[in-house]
């Protein structure tokens, strides 16, 4: 079972398909869950403490806004952990404030720099594209280490 980073990190479709084909999807929920359910941290609303932007310094320079560094404190460790990535390039749902937008750019840059196998796709808009979309993901995931038949 390989750890596969998904982008958009909140994607239902990618999360389901990666898990369906016997791999572990690495998405935003895992990073958030870790912060929500770890006892002893209490800084509503998202359990982001002043420590997070400091941890984010590993992934972004000090002059980068703290919002980006704070977000990278969640995504950075997941990217480091990832053994492969599936990216949807036309995900119009992955929008947000400048913090989110710049973090998204940094996530994609980090993934492409990391040298791990990456599959880039567009969301399907028809049945035919749906067949190609699922087949491409299945083929990519089957080719990963420990990626036997689903």
Judged by the rule CB under 8 A, the positions of this chain that interact with other proteins are 8, 10-13, 15-17, 19-20, 25, 27-33, 35-37, 44-46, 92-94, 123-135, 138
> Looking at beta carbons only, is 55 or 132 nearer to other proteins?
132
Span between the terminal Cα atoms of the chain, in Å: 11
**For other proteins, which is the closer residue by CB, 33 or 58?**
33
Q: Is the peptide bond before 24 cis (omega within 30 degrees of 0)?
A: no
Nearer to other proteins, 25 or 76 (CB): 25
Least gap, CB of 139 to other proteins (angstroms) = 9
Q: Nearest distance from residue 57's CB to other proteins, in Å?
A: 23
Q: Is 80 in contact with 101 (CB distance < 8 Å)? A: no
Report yes or no: 92 and 59 within 8 Å, Cβ to Cβ.
no
Least distance (Å) between residue 63 CB and other proteins: 28
């Amino acid at each position: 079972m390989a750890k596969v980073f998904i982008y958009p990190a909140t994607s239902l479709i990618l999360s389901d398909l990666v898990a369906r084909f016997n791999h572990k999807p690495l998405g935003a929920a895992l990073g958030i869950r870790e912060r929500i359910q770890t006892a002893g941290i209490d800084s509503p609303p998202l359990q982001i403490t002043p420590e997070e932007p400091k941890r984010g310094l590993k992934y972004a320079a000090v002059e980068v806004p703290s919002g980006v560094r704070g977000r990278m404190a969640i995504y950075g460790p997941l990217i480091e952990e990832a053994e492969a990535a599936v990216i949807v390039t036309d995900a119009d749902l992955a929008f947000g404030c400048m913090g989110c937008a710049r973090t998204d750019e940094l996530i994609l840059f980090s993934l492409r720099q990391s040298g791990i196998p990456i599959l880039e796709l567009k969301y399907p808009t028809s049945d035919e594209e749906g067949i190609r979309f699922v087949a491409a993901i299945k083929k990519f995931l089957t080719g990963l280490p420990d990626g036997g038949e689903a």
